[in-house]
Amino acid sequence: MDWVKFLTDPVTLASGFAAIASFATVLTLAAPAFSNDKLTSRLKAVSNRREELRKKSRAALEGEAAKKTIRVRDTSMMKKFVDKLDLQKMLEDPGVLKKLVQAGLRGPKPVSVFYFCRFSLPIVFGIGAFIYLWFVNDHDLQMPMKIAAIVFAFAAGFYGPNLYLENLITKRRTSIMRAFPDSLDMMLICVESGMSIELAFARVGEEIGTASAELSEELALTTAELSYLQDRRMAYVNLAERTNHPGVKGVAMALTQAEKYGTPLGSALRVMAKENREMRITEAEKKAAALPAKLTVPMIVFFLPVLFLVILGPAFIKIDAMGFMGDKTKKEATEKK
């Protein structure tokens, strides 16, 4: 009865409630100090790791080894020869850098090779023609013809690098435009699925590599430029300049307007994919329409003589045989007389 009276005493109940409340208050205030926040610790560890990597990256950039790997320098003999004779100023070509980029030749070395070849090939071709015409085989040519042949060899060596560069540009542009409409369709699917334009370029660049390695390379470069250029629109402008094709220029303009005005990328890509597909069909129709005119000369040179032989050959043989028989008959009649 004493325990019951003690536990039911109002003073005892009030003291117990006060003790419980005090303990709960102390526990609530001290709980954050004893809790183990895994997310905060992980974020702190990631931040510390990022700072370590940033310090290492800065140290590498300041070192000499990083300078050799990041900034490519041409130290070849051609570069020294070009700089010593100042061929870039003597054989200045304002559009050579743009042409080299359009041909897929990047870096400082192709520039040195281009100017070196443009300087050395005319001399090599001219000397080779002179030696061949005067010492190896005369061909009984007169002096003006020999001089004209040497001048032609000199001109071929001078304009040869430009022609070779134009050929590379044309082949690269053709390879890009064959796969470009399909890449726009895949890019449209990626954008409508929720990907950003950077991820869409990267994914399409990986998938389109089997159809066109050149287009895959250009999309990878555009992805990198979208990541580090301050003005994202410059990445699209650079893509249009590297390809130098109306279809790519139209897509670059549409993407630039989408970046500037916030228009939906999906609708712009859908329209541009349709236009590029129609452009590819138009090019194929032009080639098909020009085929009869191109086949005219081969048909005249190769097909018609054979056709005449097949048609007129038996008739000529028959007429010749009839004439031979007639002569034989006359001869026999003459002998009988």
Task: Give yes or no: residues 112 and 143 share one domain.
Answer: yes
CB neighbours (10 Å) of residue 292? 9
Q: Is residue 301 part of a domain?
A: no
**In angstroms, how far is CA 42 from the centroid of its own chain?**
41
Give me the pLDDT at residue 28, please: 72
- The number of distinct structural domains making up the chain is 3
Residue type, 216: S
299 found inside a domain: no
Helix (H, G, I), strand (E, B) or coil at 94: coil
Secondary structure tally for the chain: helices H, strands E: 15, 0
Give the pLDDT band (50/70/90) at residue 61: low
Residue 334 lies in a domain: no
Residues 81 and 45 reside in one and the same domain: no
Find where tokens 């320098």 sit.
73
310 pLDDT above the threshold of 80: yes
Same structural domain for residues 100 and 23? no
Same domain membership, residue 140 and residue 90: yes
**Per-residue pLDDT tens for 258-297?**
878 877 878 778 888 888 888 888 888 888 888 888 888 8
Q: Report CA-CA distances (Å) from 181 to 57, 170, 271, 307.
A: 40, 18, 11, 44
Whether residue 282 is found in the same domain as residue 178: yes
Q: Is residue 246 part of a domain?
A: yes
Show the domain range for 15.
2-29+38-60
Report yes or no: 177 and 137 within 8 Å, Cβ to Cβ.
no
For the cut 60, the answer to whether the pLDDT of residue 89 exceeds it is yes
Return the pLDDT at 65: 47
Q: Domain boundary residue among 271, 288, 305?
A: 288
Does residue 314 sit in helix, strand or coil? helix
Judged against a pLDDT cut of 80, whether residue 99 lies above it is answered with yes
Looking at the structure, do residues 178 and 161 belong to the same domain, yes or no? Answer: no
User: In this structure, are 178 and 255 located in the same domain?
Assistant: yes
205-210 mean pLDDT: 84
Residue 324 has pLDDT above 70, yes or no: no
Q: Is the pLDDT of residue 326 over 70?
A: no
**Which pLDDT belongs to residue 8?**
67
Does residue 68 sit within a domain? no
Highest mean pLDDT among 2-6, 40-44, 84-88, 311-315: 311-315
16: pLDDT strictly greater than 60: yes
Q: Which two tokens stand for residue 221?
A: 């470069």
Q: Are 185 and 279 found together in one domain?
A: yes
Which residue bears the tokens 């041909």? 103
Enter the pTM of the model.
0.61
Q: Are residues 92 and 161 in the same domain?
A: yes
In a domain, 314, yes or no: no
Q: Residue with structure tokens 């082949």?
A: 171
What number is the average pLDDT over the span 242-264? 83
Q: What is the mean pLDDT of residues 247-262?
A: 83
Q: Which residue has the tokens 């020294």?
A: 80
Residues 97 and 129 in one domain: yes
